[in-house]
Amino acid sequence: MTCRTTKQSWLSGILPGRNVTGLPLLNGKPHCRRVCCVNHNGNGKRSGRLPGKICCRGFCSRWSGIWFVTCRKRKPWAETDTGRQTLMTTDNTNTIRNDSLAARTDTWLQSFLVWSPGQRDIIKTVALVLMVLDHINLIFQLKQEWMFLVGRGAFPLFALVWGLNLPRHAHIRQPAINRLWGWGIIAQFAYYLAGFPWYEGHILFAFAVVAQVLTWCETRSGWRTAAAILLMAQWGPLSGTSYGIAGLLMLAVSHRLYRAEDRAERLALVACLLAVIPALNLATSDAAAVAGLVMTVLTVGLVSCAGKSLPRFWPGDFFPTFYACHLAVLGVLAL
């Protein structure tokens, strides 16, 4: 098997940096050869996987200037629902330091934009509060400028957490998308009850459309690619109250950011985020565009500094359920 150098995404599965049997050094670098990541009993038969290790074949990989022994099949090292985290560590003797500005920026962005399960729920809770304030202001016609401005940060926060959660699986699961479509249909009735046009799609449909399009495009089937294009074309006229094309771009960039394996691509995607987030509200006003970016950066910055060990505290379908219920309640109260 040949040895090749690859780059890892922020959420790539990485084997622990403990000594790997039979991995010698060659010119100061790990010499690649077949590595089996399973325990063996006395008869040479496999008796189970080693803790934290995945794969059966391995090769040398370089990510952010550090050599790792990794698996050919990437798996996210993002925290699981139980709060465990696979740390990117390696033997000091096999570490090659890279102090370039790009490497330091990439490492800082990783600490800024990759969160534990508890931190994700905190961010979603903040986004939920901002969303409710915005909807109360809109449905009850309060015309409070501050409620409108802080509400501009809700969708970008939800989009970033959504993009971070997707790489937990190798591909977006169709059952999860179907469940999102179902919640979207249920919430549409509450959306109309709250006073929005019946033909306008709400934000859950934006998530469902992007997830479905990404899934179909991953299959590389001509028919499904055509269906994805048709779905986006149909969604465009119905997305007037759900950020339109800018909303789709926000979700697509958030998804790609956490799957990108090239450092330059990640930095470019972060730059795209800084442009797309203001673009979500640019058609409304310059103040709304700036407020959306400020609320997003401020929330992410504060949460990334605390709550790293906090476990997940909301159930899986809490937020789509709350979305439908709060619209129904506000709609009834506004009658």
**3-class secondary structure for 270-330?**
HHHHHHHHHHCCCCCCHHHHHHHHHHHHHHHHHHHCCCCCCCCCCCCCHHHHHHHHHHHHH
- Give the pLDDT score at 8: 60
pLDDT band at residue 220 under the 50/70/90 scheme: confident
Closest to 201 (Cα-Cα) out of 143, 247, 156: 247
Residue 72, number of CB atoms within 10 A of its CB: 13
Burial class (CB in 10 A: 0-12, 13-18, 19+), 107: middle
- Give the pLDDT score at 25: 45
Are residues 127 and 73 part of one domain?
no
Could you tell me what percent of the chain has a pLDDT over 70?
A: 70
Higher-pLDDT residue of 101 and 211 is 211
In this predicted structure, the answer to whether residue 284 has a pLDDT above a threshold of 50 is yes
| b/e 203-236 (16+ beta carbons within 10 angstroms → b) | bbbbbbbbbbbbbbeeeeeeebeeebeebbeebe
What is the total count of domains within the chain?
A: 2
In this predicted structure, the answer to whether residue 71 has a pLDDT above a threshold of 60 is no
pLDDT band at residue 138 under the 50/70/90 scheme: very high
Are residues 175 and 275 part of one domain?
yes
19 inside domain: no
- Give the pLDDT score at 301: 94
Are residues 207 and 123 part of one domain?
yes
Higher-pLDDT residue of 87 and 141 is 141
pLDDT band at residue 30 under the 50/70/90 scheme: very low
pLDDT band at residue 12 under the 50/70/90 scheme: low
Residue that terminates a domain, selected from 48, 72, 98: 98
Are residues 119 and 262 part of one domain?
yes
Higher-pLDDT residue of 15 and 227 is 227
Residue that terminates a domain, selected from 98, 131, 155: 98
Could you tell me what percent of the chain has a pLDDT over 90?
A: 53
Are residues 174 and 113 part of one domain?
yes
Residue 12, number of CB atoms within 10 A of its CB: 23
Are residues 225 and 155 part of one domain?
yes
CB 323 within 8 A of CB 204: yes
CB 196 within 8 A of CB 162: no
Q: What are phi and psi of 30, to 5 degrees?
A: -60, 135
DSSP state of 151: G
pLDDT band at residue 267 under the 50/70/90 scheme: very high
Closest to 277 (Cα-Cα) out of 291, 263, 264, 266: 291
pLDDT band at residue 92 under the 50/70/90 scheme: very low
17 inside domain: no
Task: Give the Cα separation of 211 and 199 in Å (integer).
Answer: 21
pTM across the whole model: 0.73
Task: Give the Cα separation of 164 and 114 in Å (integer).
Answer: 7
Are residues 180 and 92 part of one domain?
no
Q: Angle CA(274)–CA(167)–CA(18) in degrees, nearest 5?
A: 110
pLDDT band at residue 174 under the 50/70/90 scheme: very high
Burial class (CB in 10 A: 0-12, 13-18, 19+), 14: buried
4 inside domain: no
Are residues 298 and 226 part of one domain?
yes
**3-class secondary structure for 154-205?**
HHHHHHHHHHHHHHHCCCCCHHHHHHHHHHHHHHHHHHHHCCCCCCCCCHHH
Q: What is the mean pLDDT of the chain?
A: 77
Are residues 144 and 46 part of one domain?
no
Are residues 243 and 292 part of one domain?
yes
- Give the pLDDT score at 148: 96
| b/e 119-149 (16+ beta carbons within 10 angstroms → b) | bbbbbbbbbbebbbbbbbbbbeeeeeeebbb
218 inside domain: yes
11 inside domain: no
Residue 75, number of CB atoms within 10 A of its CB: 17
6 inside domain: no
Residue that terminates a domain, selected from 98, 129, 150: 98
Residue 306, number of CB atoms within 10 A of its CB: 11
In this predicted structure, the answer to whether residue 238 has a pLDDT above a threshold of 80 is yes
18 inside domain: no
Mean pLDDT of 168-197: 91
Rg of the chain, C-alpha, whole Å? 22
In this predicted structure, the answer to whether residue 59 has a pLDDT above a threshold of 50 is no
Residue 152, number of CB atoms within 10 A of its CB: 26
Domain that holds residue 229: 108-334
Are residues 112 and 260 part of one domain?
yes
Mean pLDDT of 45-73: 36
Are residues 148 and 297 part of one domain?
yes
10 inside domain: no
